[in-house]
Structure 1
Amino acid sequence: MMKSTAAIPVIIALSVSLGILIGATFFHAQGENTPRKRYPKIEEVLSYIDLYYVDEVNIDELTDYSIEKLLEKLDPHSAYIPAEETELVNADLEGAFEGIGIEYMLLNDTIEVVTPLTGGPAEQVGLLAGDKIIRINGENVAGIGIDHLGVFKRLRGKKGTQVTVEVKRQGIDRLLSFTIIRDRINTQSVYAFMLDKHTGYIKISNFAANTHHEFQEALKELKRKGMKQLILDLRDNPGGYLDRATDIADEFLPNDYLIVYTDGRGTRFDSKIKATNRGLFEKDKLVVLVNEGSASASEIVAGALQDNDRAWVIGRRTFGKGLVQMPIDLKDGSELRLTISRYYTPSGRCIQKPYDGNKAHYEEELWKRYESGELLRPDSVHFADSLKFKTRKGRIVYGGGGIMPDFFVPVDTGALARLKSEVYASGVLQEFAIRHAPQINKKSYTAISFQEQWQLPDSLWQSLLSSLSQKGIDTTLLNNNSAKASLSHELKALIARQLWGYEAFYYILYQEDPFVKKAIEILHMPE
């Protein structure tokens, strides 16, 4: 149970742009009442601008800009979300949304269907992976510079409403038209499978409304399959609901162990959250994977398990986001996410990294890690003695900017890694998987046998090289057998995603993952 003196729920998350979402990992709560104090000077200035300024101005846009600049003076994670963006910002954490049910990517300025979600409206009317959406409700959306917000505004909508899409399908000259009735679409944030006979793997992409339930079901299923040790993957997890994160930490910790505590101005937002006696995996071996993309709620889980000596943490120093935001609904439908407290791991660490008031410097900090060599060598990180803390068993850990792992895994900066980044950015590999997955007889394989038996035909490899060359990518390095094997392996994982979904994708991809290999090595160490 949460033992808290706070009167209202709080959120913890990254208030920066993450992929297609802007701070899309917040705990939704009721906001405060109207503030008791008034600040008429701002209203007065805006009124004079509206009345007398020499040119016509958009006061709403000017107000939004003013709020954003004001918040930058506070901290890097207090944020203002305009009304038209709140649905998009919150979508990933609701556990469901209302729309047509597709996964898509923007490729060559075109909306391309990666896959229609199983059982969703788009699948039911016949939309297929690889379809290119050209028009939506008669409006051309191809080649116009559409962004993800533009896609969401056109395809999402209330359950029961309809939208007509016209698509270009490979091998058909004319556009195909589909009228789709929007419905409620469930989302997934937990992916799980057995890596071997005794080792389970669970990846949590963020801490959404249904994450804890998904996690419990996944954990129970892995235990039924014989799991004796677990790899918990929190890499690139940007955060989410505080209570979902602490509920998951609770599954690993004995009763009454401290998970996290918060400290704000005064005592109103101070809280302590401790484990209960209901954990599903309190005894067996556990390791946690993190990297510089692990932030906020994922750092709370990693920090709690590290400080309580429950798990080894493997990877690279986490983001360093240790501030708690409260969401406040404003009258026009916009939201203010205001920092109200700092959170601390059980040993007393505040893992918020420094902020000098310059937002650009703060956002460049991850790049500075690369420049300093931190992502390549663990000894490049130096902590002051004042940042030393001790775990429950007396091991030294450090605060002051993220969770430092117990075992380090460097970033790959080799020529092949750089080439693969260029290949992924081009979209060629993903599109190639979409095009060729339907040619594989899915009934002949399981995801496991596909990983073990399927080999990329030479004709497809040559076709892939040709497609890359057409994009201006130098493929000379791929003449090397090991380079070919590495890229072919990732293509196999992408094809598996098309055939069996994301769990198959991760299962295959992580067979060659250095984090997972290190995790298995650590799990096999004597206790």
Structure 2
Amino acid sequence: MIGGRFLFLFYVLSVSWVGAASAWDSDLRLVLEVRDKIHREYVAKVDSLRVIDAGLDGLVTALDAGDNLYRSPSELGLEPRSLDDRAQVGLLAEALQEVQGQYLLSVSPDSLQRGVVRGMLSALDPHSNYLSAAEYVDMAETYRGDFEGIGIYFEVRRGRLLVIAPIVGSPSYGKLRAGDHIVEIEGVPTDGISTEEVIEKLRGPRGSPVRLGVSRQGRDALLDFVVRRERIKLKSLPYVFMLAGNTGYVRIVRFAETTAAELGRALAALRLQGMKRLLLDLRDNGGGLLQQAVEVADYFVDSGSLIVYTEGRGFDSRHEYRARRPFWGEGEPLPLVVLIDHGSASASEIVAGAVQDLDLGLVTGQTSFGKGLVQGQFPLRSNGGLLLLTVARYYTPLGRLIQRPYTDDIQAYIKAGVDDVDPNSIDSLRAGKEIFYTASSRAVYGGGGITPDVLLRVEEYSDFAIDLFSSGAIADFSGIWVGGRGDWPQDFAEYRTGYEVPEEGFADFAAFLRDEGWEVGAEDFAAHRDFLHRELKAGFARVLWGDEQYYRVRLDGDGEVEQSLGLFGEASALLARRTGTGY
């Protein structure tokens, strides 16, 4: 028993008595630093004992061997004992000593502290998080939008290192292609390699070489490439196209340091190509940097208008973010449709919420994720890690709270709002939600997430289709099919509009699946004819030209995009009657 609480360590084997670690005051530095930040900076006051109990739960969760558990007094039906600050720290130290002294295996104090920290944060909300020093570096790299390496999208599938696509403009572009199997790195076989090992071996200082042995369909001998690493730019806007009807299309996949600048260049380029209306695709964009969301929205908002505001713990904690550019920058305002789904979160919801509240455009798709908590970044002195701690909440210009309700059950939180919604009924999306009204008297809805103005039908994939995606069978077959043929159109535009997958292609794909152990019936192929044609054609395009062309072919069969293109009449009417009044 420790501090009126019970720590049970159930052993798989006999107890290993390791001497209790000394100087727990220094070994607790990470835990105490995080605990101090929680009490000083968190968006709301917290129950300190609840945080400690959650930390002890996290401690035993970090122990791999045996069924270990921690039980608080309330869970044991006992009267909770009041503990002051000093006693709470003593409780943590005592628990760590018990684990170090009695647990079956030797565990480093650092690992135990990380368990305690993650446990404490779980008592707060679903988005406060702790990153190790290495994870901190990875996150900074992601938001910076670049890294040093050879520039490929890859996947480790059944122990084989496969190239999904080279990044356009990277050292690998023009050498490697989709479907290639990298069998050696610096002469060492890659069989059984892990994703982490691939990253470690392929990334490195700019200008340094790496030798790759590559197996390619249609070539008997192993191909030998020496690729010199370079700084690889990760685009926030990897897909920028002109669609039918003078429609510009922009897909934003993240909000990183360069996102707004990329959007400015994309809009300028599309205007030069004759863009008269814009479809902004934010599906599956989980967010990113708040300031970048503000700067992206600023392209479509009147100067001075409120884009988003945050409120934290203090009475004077409201912070407003307003537009600085003229409406649509220097160009003519255009009809705008913003496409969202359940994967659109955080920064994506800031943009969609501003567009909707300010009558700037039509929001289509499905209700967004509902992530409206602002995480402050606190570098940790004790170990070089990073604390992402919720310090405020986002609100749309009309005052709608973006954040969905949540409990301690993270999995339930992730599923909430999806399982209880009828995807074919806009009424189910709006049921029970608070109503707000825009300047043009349009109703928009609170209650978490952004409810679309127009609900779109979602393509429901069958089990057969999902299995094809998850197995990588289409990508594998595409490399084989393209590698065995040379009669392909030289021009992608000709391929996109004119190529049809021949019957031989379908038959060979069916044979390929059977060789791989699939039970494929004629009825499966008949029922999935359109789906298979689109996916095979896109897979061939990725091998022949790259990822951008792969995506462009898939976009031609994207039902939500097609539905959104049919709604520009409403978007045009909205633009025409917009008052332009700021909030």
With normalisation by structure 2, the TM-score equals 0.76
Gaps of 5+ in 2: 1-84, 574-583
1:256 aligns to 2:317 (yes or no): no
| Alignment map for 1:114-129 (pairs within 5 Å) | 114-123=164-173, 126-129=175-178
| Alignment map for 1:381-460 (pairs within 5 Å) | 381-384=429-432, 387-413=434-460, 417-437=462-482, 439=485, 444-447=490-493, 449-460=494-505
Q: What CA RMSD, in Å, does the superposition of the two structures yield over aligned residues?
A: 2.7
Structure-2 separation of matches of 1:502 and 1:363: 30
| Alignment map for 1:78-477 (pairs within 5 Å) | 78-123=128-173, 126-137=175-186, 139-143=188-192, 146=194, 148-171=195-218, 175-190=222-237, 191-266=239-314, 270-278=318-326, 279-280=328-329, 283-331=333-381, 332-365=383-416, 369-370=418-419, 372-384=420-432, 387-413=434-460, 417-437=462-482, 439=485, 444-447=490-493, 449-469=494-514, 470-477=516-523
Go from structure 1 to structure 2 and tell me whether the alpha carbon gap of 1:181 and 1:226 turns closer, same or farther (over 3 Å shift).
closer
Structure-2 separation of matches of 1:181 and 1:80: 34
498-507 or 45-54: which moved more? 45-54
Check whether the contact 2:312–2:393 (CA below 8 A) recurs between aligned residues: yes
Go from structure 1 to structure 2 and tell me whether the alpha carbon gap of 1:158 and 1:425 turns closer, same or farther (over 3 Å shift).
same
Gaps of 5+ in 1: 1-36
User: What percentage of residue pairs aligned between the two structures are identical?
Assistant: 36
Q: Deviations over 1:333-380 (max 9, x none)?
A: 3211111100000110001111112223213326xx24x352232222
Go from structure 1 to structure 2 and tell me whether the alpha carbon gap of 1:133 and 1:507 turns closer, same or farther (over 3 Å shift).
closer
Structure-2 separation of matches of 1:51 and 1:446: 63
Go from structure 1 to structure 2 and tell me whether the alpha carbon gap of 1:43 and 1:357 turns closer, same or farther (over 3 Å shift).
closer
| Alignment map for 1:64-75 (pairs within 5 Å) | 64-75=114-125
Q: Deviations over 1:203-230 (max 9, x none)?
A: 1111122111211111111111111111
Go from structure 1 to structure 2 and tell me whether the alpha carbon gap of 1:221 and 1:420 turns closer, same or farther (over 3 Å shift).
same
Check whether the contact 1:253–1:282 (CA below 8 A) recurs between aligned residues: no
Q: Deviations over 1:470-526 (max 9, x none)?
A: 34253433442x732332122222332333444433332222222112211111346
Shift of 1:137: 4.4
Check whether the contact 1:46–1:59 (CA below 8 A) recurs between aligned residues: no
Structure-2 separation of matches of 1:393 and 1:334: 48
| Structure 2 equivalent of residue 27 of structure 1 | none
Structure-1 separation of matches of 2:317 and 2:94: 33
Shift of 1:103: 1.4
1:494 aligns to 2:544 (yes or no): no
Check whether the contact 2:510–2:520 (CA below 8 A) recurs between aligned residues: no
Letter paired with 1:457 = P
Go from structure 1 to structure 2 and tell me whether the alpha carbon gap of 1:377 and 1:204 turns closer, same or farther (over 3 Å shift).
same
265-274 or 244-253: which moved more? 265-274
Structure-1 separation of matches of 2:543 and 2:368: 31
| Structure 1 equivalent of residue 560 of structure 2 | 515
Shift of 1:60: 1.6
Shift of 1:40: 4.6
Shift of 1:54: 5.4
Go from structure 1 to structure 2 and tell me whether the alpha carbon gap of 1:90 and 1:42 turns closer, same or farther (over 3 Å shift).
farther
76-85 or 489-498: which moved more? 489-498
Shift of 1:283: 1.8
Q: Deviations over 1:20-45 (max 9, x none)?
A: xxxxxxxxxxxxxxxxx998547734
Number of residue-to-residue matches in the alignment: 481
Go from structure 1 to structure 2 and tell me whether the alpha carbon gap of 1:289 and 1:51 turns closer, same or farther (over 3 Å shift).
closer
1:444 counterpart SS class: coil
Check whether the contact 2:154–2:163 (CA below 8 A) recurs between aligned residues: yes
Structure showing greater Rg: 2
Structure-2 separation of matches of 1:212 and 1:441: 41
Check whether the contact 2:182–2:190 (CA below 8 A) recurs between aligned residues: yes
Letter paired with 1:484 = R
Shift of 1:268: 6.9
Q: Deviations over 1:267-296 (max 9, x none)?
A: 675311111234336621010101101111
Structure-1 separation of matches of 2:258 and 2:91: 41
Letter paired with 2:163 = V
Shift of 1:57: 1.8
Shift of 1:73: 0.3
Check whether the contact 2:165–2:547 (CA below 8 A) recurs between aligned residues: no
Structure-2 separation of matches of 1:421 and 1:248: 34
Go from structure 1 to structure 2 and tell me whether the alpha carbon gap of 1:471 and 1:276 turns closer, same or farther (over 3 Å shift).
farther
Structure-1 separation of matches of 2:100 and 2:471: 50
89-98 or 437-446: which moved more? 437-446
| Structure 2 equivalent of residue 3 of structure 1 | none
Q: Deviations over 1:152-171 (max 9, x none)?
A: 23322232444444333335
Q: Deviations over 1:203-262 (max 9, x none)?
A: 111112211121111111111111111111001111011111111111111111111000
Check whether the contact 2:179–2:478 (CA below 8 A) recurs between aligned residues: no
Check whether the contact 2:247–2:278 (CA below 8 A) recurs between aligned residues: yes
With normalisation by structure 1, the TM-score equals 0.84
